[in-house]
Amino acid sequence: MSFDVEIRNIAGQVTAVGAAGPFTVVVDRPAEAGGGGRGFNGGQLLYMAIAGCVSNDLFREAAAMGVALDRVVVRVTGDFIGSPAVSTDVGYEVEISGDAPPETLRELVGRVDRIAEIPNSLRSGTSVEPRAIHISG
């Protein structure tokens, strides 16, 4: 599955809207860092991508196992340090309940940890680089 996302700033401001097909998110910097403080910053989006991927995969894999989940909470923690800032090691916690025994739910979380696309992309060191730069003036 291929993805194409775009971020466009709003009216000359730092605040921007990110779009992926029909879905949007507000992207910004904190006000104390020169932004409008109206949306997620890049680090939050990175960690949110990890949490979202794990959550989505838990539901997908649970359905494949015939397990109905009642509650899934994924918390991702880390920090950014240095100059330029780079993420420290990232950890996540899962709270989960469903109509399966605890050992089955633990097995489900372990399976998802092994196959989740975003965590595995980060673990393998996916390359990120500019492919084109278009300048208008």
Write the pLDDT tens digit of every residue in 26-67. Answer: 999 999 999 999 999 999 999 999 999 999 999 999 999 999
Q: Give the CA dihedral 137, 17, 53, 29, nearest 10 degrees.
A: 80
Average pLDDT, the chain: 97
pTM: 0.93
Nearest to 105 by CA among 50, 49, 66, 47: 66
Same-domain check for residues 102 and 113 = yes
Q: What's the pLDDT score for residue 137?
A: 84
Residues 50, 31, single domain; the answer is no
46 and 26 co-located in one domain: no
**Domain extent for 18:** 1-40
Instruction: Check: CB of residue 109 under 8 Å from CB of residue 89.
Output: no
Do 35 and 59 belong together in one domain? no
- Domain assignment present for residue 31? The answer is yes
Q: Residue 77's domain is classified under what CATH number?
A: 3.30.300.20
In a domain, 9, yes or no: yes
Tens digits of residue pLDDT in 71-91: 999 999 999 999 999 999 999
Residue with tokens 């466009």: 8
Residue 136 lies in a domain: no
